[in-house]
A = this chain, B = another copy of it.
Amino acid sequence: MANSAFTPIPALKGQDILTVSQFKPELLSYVFNLTDDMRAMMADRGGSDLLAGRVMAALFYEPSTRTSASFIAAMARLGGGVIPITQGVQFSSVAKGESLPDTVRTLEQYADVIVLRHPEVGSAKVAAAAARVPLINAGDGAGEHPTQALLDLYTIKNELGALDGLHVAMVGDLRFGRTVHSLTRLLAQFKVRLTFVSPEILRLPLDLMNEIRDGGTPVRETYSVADAINDADVLYVTRVQKERFTDLEQYEQVKGFYTIDPAQMQHAKQRMIVMHPLPRVTEIDPAVDDDSRAAYFRQMQNGMFVRMAVLAAVLGAV
């Protein structure tokens, strides 16, 4: 939908949500205000009928309990219906040889919006090109997962009040972590400092590093959490996956550096947050869960609020 001069804030009605690069500060502000509204409505009433009669297709070519549950809950909280295709797609139409565009063009006959999870990079773009209804990329392989990045950024803003001036430390697998890449790009639009903490073989890709450095964001790299935790406002932790290492001895050596426990949290500031996209394995000791700075479960809930906002916006209900 074209934006007229009378809608200075970019409208999302009818738009696809494919990449974080769609989200400039003005649009982020718009989405986060909507998210605040959803949070307030939930606290007040626990649900609404804003999307009554509307239908979302959740087309998941690979399982993702967390993401599908979050989108399904978002739709249910707004009174809408869901077509869950979250298991076994490969045994059905796709097994009969149907192309992704055909599947999408079929589903849009039934649904007002399609949420797609697919193992191949670029699949969301292909699907969106075929679809007339809004398509939301819920993860296309090593590509993007924009609502994840939105909920991450919203969590930082919601927990700490503002983005400008923050020092954000990213910890763990910074090479393959889709989540880290997208959040980094969003953060680089604000006046933040970034510290990247990873083992050598999992450092942030050079092109992304150069991109944000060239944009003027102060950046630092280190191997050790201890180098960053005392000064960080946000510690964004991700999994260091064993299978990334060819040398398992190396894995055993480094994995300890990337486990956040209560002892390490003593070096952190009183006003800071620990985030994690979950699921976690050993990166955060469960003993940290009761620390009020542990924000990862609140982060999950923000996922639902952000998705409520995005669904309502692309469906033109707000």
Asked whether any CB of chain B lies closer than 8 Å to the CB of A3, the reply is no
Closest Cβ–Cβ distance, residue A314 to chain B (whole Å) = 14
Complex alpha-carbon distance, A92 and B81, angstroms: 23
Given contact pairs A57-B69, A88-B87, A279-B96, A109 touches B304 in the complex (Cβ within 8 A): yes
Q: Are the C-beta atoms of B77 and A53 separated by less than 8 Å? A: yes
Complex alpha-carbon distance, A148 and B306, angstroms: 37
Q: How many residues of A contact B (CB 8 A)?
A: 61
A105 to chain B: closest residue by CB: B297
Complex alpha-carbon distance, A25 and B54, angstroms: 33
Q: Are the C-beta atoms of A52 and B49 separated by less than 8 Å? A: yes
Chain B residues contacting A289 (CB-CB under 8 Å) are: 105
Tell which of B79, B81, B82, B105 touches A77, judged by Cβ atoms closer than 8 Å. Answer: B81
Per-position binary interface string of chain A over residues 16-51, scored 1 when its CB falls under 8 Å from any chain B CB and 0 otherwise: 000000000000000000000000000001111100
Of A60-68, A136-144, A220-228, the stretch lying at the interface with chain B is A60-68
Closest Cβ–Cβ distance, residue A133 to chain B (whole Å) = 12
Complex alpha-carbon distance, A64 and B95, angstroms: 11
Asked whether any CB of chain B lies closer than 8 Å to the CB of A301, the reply is yes
Per-position binary interface string of chain A over residues 297-318, scored 1 when its CB falls under 8 Å from any chain B CB and 0 otherwise: 1101101100000000000000
Asked whether any CB of chain B lies closer than 8 Å to the CB of A106, the reply is yes
For window 99-122 of A, CB contacts with B under 8 Å fall at 99, 101-103, 105-107, 109-112
A interface with B by C-beta (< 8 Å) = 45-49, 52-55, 57, 63-66, 69-70, 72-73, 75-77, 79-85, 87-89, 91-93, 96-99, 101-103, 105-107, 109-112, 239, 278-281, 286, 289, 297-298, 300-301, 303-304
